[in-house]
Amino acid sequence: MIGVYRVFLVCLGVFCLSCFGATAKSMDSNLGKRKHPNNGYQIQSTKFKSDFSPIARKSVAFPSKYSAGTIVIRTSERRLYHVTAEGRALAYGIGVGKTGFTWSGSNKISRKAEWPGWTPPARMRAREAKKGRILPAYMPGGPNNPLGARALYIGSTIYRIHGTNQPWTIGHAMSSGCIRMANDDVKHLYANVGVGTRVVVLR
Q: Residue 194 falls within a domain, yes or no?
A: yes
16 counts as catalytic: no
Q: Residue 37 falls within a domain, yes or no?
A: no
Same domain, 121 and 167: yes
**Segments of the chain scoring below 50 in pLDDT:** 1-17, 20, 32-48
178 counts as catalytic: yes
75-120 confidence digits (pLDDT tens):
999 999 999 999 999 999 999 999 999 999 999 999 999 999 999 8
Q: Residue 126 falls within a domain, yes or no?
A: yes
Residue 155 CB contacts under 8 Å (≥ 6 apart), including other chains:
107, 108, 110
Q: 114: domain CATH number?
A: 2.40.440.10
Q: What confidence score (pLDDT) does residue 197 get?
A: 98
Q: What confidence score (pLDDT) does residue 31 get?
A: 55
**Residue in 16, 82, 162, 172 annotated catalytic:** 162
Same domain, 183 and 136: yes
Same domain, 22 and 81: no
Range of the domain at 24: 2-30
**Residue in 19, 82, 172, 178 annotated catalytic:** 178
